[in-house]
Structure 1
């Protein structure tokens, strides 16, 4: 077999370049190795300095976004969308907690109907006086018309009301789970015919607090074989409110679909289908014994939070750009928190502004949510203030604030799906927004008008010239919101890079 001779063309040029001299003496070899060692130490120090500089740059290179808007504007839902997009595993690991929130929402919707029925019973037993608090059930809708006559409740409806009264205990039980130290007040007005004194909507102090409290309750039962390890749900928990809800499902459907009840709610201007956390059209599904919330259910679920909720994630950058840490802050919906420090161009020193102060510094962007569908509603905190008017005033105070003049502002005209449904149902936008005049009562015309109005406020009141970023949104729709948030992230990153003189 002929011998194979290696061609010089097969030798790596780099190998030849770094190879020691052929006739290297021991002294020369020692000198060469010492020189290579010194060069390597210099190279290692340079690498360490580069890594340290990159770590320091990463610490400074955090994108901070603040979510602002009045209560029920969609801030928490927007935050949940960010979580779903960027931390889907963590988002879905919390479904056991959100299952309880959906159950709470169902019980709350039924309780509102039962309270309305108590008002009807009260009117039937004694005529309403001019000062009777008809709308004390839920101060969302303001009406310029006199108090209406409420429809007569049939004996069948009164029996249905009594059968559903245990759901009041369910609501109380769920609140005691979320906030064991506080619990929730019993709503006895629906069982008796006593006058209703509507308390403010219950709330939790922060999303992390209620989730951890609920997780501790769940972890105490993890030793039982009935616990679904993947979902974190104990299907045989004797205290599971889902059992009562499941057994009451038919009665709840009958109540919600009853024409007299619909007429009663219309007379009181209560549109449950427009409220956050509405699941009465999905009773069979959400009251199933082994119900697990979908992603859309979690987005729709309503739990009022007070205080600052923070979500962190790392946004992986394309190409050679460094990945960036993001901080998304949701200021809980208390009106005092939202408006406390925005009335002037200086930060106040009162307790309200304390919640804002840490987040004003170095904020890259504010996503402001203005729900257009609330044009015919008033604030729960102040029934004399129209909700759309309040959003406009808050937007003006934000764009004119000197502390925020370098902050990018992004406007979400939210709940566009509910706005569309209201307009199609015949509710006249011009009745509540006088300046709208005789323009068409259509979704396109209304949104065009409101975009122009918010844009003019931004242009006339901003201390510096700003690009007006505006999106019509329905943040409970994860598909469309995904695309919008991707565009928003791109906009924020481009602005941040431009400010850093990177682009």
Structure 2
């Protein structure tokens, strides 16, 4: 039985033309045999490499199905960083809350910059007083001594509004310590690992330091071209570790190894809160400055609307300058800190339907929106799943900080058109946030006319519902007329991303839309 089976098998194999062709020649020499074996081994290696490449591609494809990439796009100060914070607050609340103490320095800096903007507006010559001259005033910058902070030359200081001028001078003298503190805070954020606060003068504009630069930004005084109205805005790189260095653990020390009590920042005489606390109250303190009707009238004449600026805390001075102040979630969401480059935030959503092992990783990129940073957007278009575009529709009467000749809303529309018309993004989900609706509503209620700045608005009602609907139709029409993919669905939301509750609901809805679309696309792959 067994010999017959073996012979039968061999007979069948020799009858197979392919098997017969693969047999080595009967007269094969040893050299030929070695050459044949080497060739077979090389061919097998090529085959194995191809199999491994296929395996890796399958693994990568599977991984990509479980990674969702989202870009936050929009002009500078459109609300991208706040939206990123909202994602973090919603999906990584513990990490967000652990960083709240670190934001204290940023919030203090925002408050001081608001005071500086008001003082700028008061010190510059009032356009309603023709006799005023820019040469009459000189302003000390970046924490010079009180005596040199405000100087009036000659009798022109005692104009018909001399009483107001003296009052403004008192504010400037009283609040001068804040300008010195501003530089300490900048250094604290730019060099968080340094223990000491060595004095340093006006930081150089566009200084090529590794972790920060000070960008020139115009004064809040609209229409002013005086070089004295410029000040620096701190811009940190994403690699800066200021949050870690300024966290709760780093600014508290144990009082005793036995009691467990801590010595907080409020007991450290060098902490910035003591200067702010001292400058907050009194007749010429921060609170008095913001409540002074004469001051407010000057701001109104100059069309300086402090409430519209990022990092606005003047309505909360008493709470924020308290010695034991801890930022709330809302405080952190409103904080303004310019970042250079691209900020990436990753988190994982557990979902048994959309991802292997129930996990989907989200990577959200906050890409700089200033004009000189927009060329960096293109590399992030590859493999992106969704774009959240933010357009601050309250800015219809404002101009770009980079170019005062360009209307901010017009710039947003041009930017929007360039994004929706990009062929690389034809199949990418696009969600539009028409942002800062709270400021838009307040501005319209204050009597600011949209038609005055946008002739195309015509005779429509100048109320929030009419204006917001007009903007929705305007942006939707731009998408329809320029998109290379007419079947792409556009999702539009009216937002105020500093509103924690409403924005969390919107983000949850947006997240579900992106997840569903990603699942649908993965099934087609």
Q: With the length of structure 2 as denominator, give the TM-score of the two structures.
A: 0.72
Partner of 2:415: 394
Partner of 1:80: 85
Partner of 1:316: 350
- 2:460 is the counterpart of 1:439: yes
Answer 1 or 2: which has greater strand percent: 2
Shift in Å, 1:399? 0.5
Residues 219 and 293 (structure 1), Cα distance of their counterparts in 2 relative to 1, 3 Å cut: closer
Whole-Å Cα distance in 1 between the matches of residues 402 and 332 of structure 2? Answer: 26
Partner of 2:489: 467
Whole-Å Cα distance in 2 between the matches of residues 84 and 404 of structure 1? Answer: 28
Q: 2:435 touches 2:494 (CA, 8 Å); kept in 1?
A: yes
Shift in Å, 1:335? 1.8
**Uncovered stretches (5+) of structure 2, i.e. residues with no partner:** 1-54, 138-158, 193-198, 204-215, 220-225
Whole-Å Cα distance in 2 between the matches of residues 439 and 150 of structure 1? Answer: 43
Partner of 2:287: 253
Instruction: Give the one of 494, 501, 515 matched to 1:493.
Output: 515
**Uncovered stretches (5+) of structure 1, i.e. residues with no partner:** 1-49, 133-148, 341-354
The equivalences for 1:341-380 within 5 A come to 355-380=376-401
Q: 1:176 touches 1:184 (CA, 8 Å); kept in 2?
A: no
Could you report, residue by residue, the CA deviation over 1:243-300 in whole angstroms, capped at 9, with x for unpaired residues? 1111111211111111111111111111001111000011110110000000000001
The equivalences for 1:397-416 within 5 A come to 397-416=418-437
Shift in Å, 1:333? 3.4
Partner of 1:333: 369
Shift in Å, 1:184? 7.4
Residues 262 and 395 (structure 1), Cα distance of their counterparts in 2 relative to 1, 3 Å cut: same
Q: 1:304 touches 1:333 (CA, 8 Å); kept in 2?
A: no
Shift in Å, 1:215? 3.6
Instruction: Give the one of 168, 174, 189 matched to 1:157.
Output: 168
**Does the residue aligned with 1:173 lie in a helix, a strand or coil?**
helix
Residues 405 and 184 (structure 1), Cα distance of their counterparts in 2 relative to 1, 3 Å cut: farther
**Does the residue aligned with 1:204 lie in a helix, a strand or coil?**
strand
**Does the residue aligned with 1:500 lie in a helix, a strand or coil?**
helix
Q: With the length of structure 1 as denominator, give the TM-score of the two structures.
A: 0.75
Partner of 2:13: none
Partner of 1:205: 236
Partner of 2:255: 225
Residues 172 and 210 (structure 1), Cα distance of their counterparts in 2 relative to 1, 3 Å cut: farther
- 2:185 is the counterpart of 1:174: yes
Larger-gyration structure (1/2):
2
Residues 87 and 233 (structure 1), Cα distance of their counterparts in 2 relative to 1, 3 Å cut: farther
Q: 1:119 touches 1:196 (CA, 8 Å); kept in 2?
A: no
- 2:84 is the counterpart of 1:71: no
Please say which of residues 376-385 and 231-240 is displaced more in the overlay: 231-240
Could you report, residue by residue, the CA deviation over 1:32-67 in whole angstroms, capped at 9, with x for unpaired residues? xxxxxxxxxxxxxxxxxx9x9889724552100000
Q: 1:58 touches 1:324 (CA, 8 Å); kept in 2?
A: no
- 2:302 is the counterpart of 1:271: no
Could you report, residue by residue, the CA deviation over 1:397-421 in whole angstroms, capped at 9, with x for unpaired residues? 0001111111111100000000000
Instruction: Give the one of 228, 232, 239 matched to 2:270.
Output: 239
The equivalences for 1:291-306 within 5 A come to 291-306=325-340
Whole-Å Cα distance in 2 between the matches of residues 269 and 320 of structure 1? Answer: 51
Could you report, residue by residue, the CA deviation over 1:281-320 in whole angstroms, capped at 9, with x for unpaired residues? 1111011000000000000111111210000000111558
* Root mean square deviation, CA, Å: 3.4
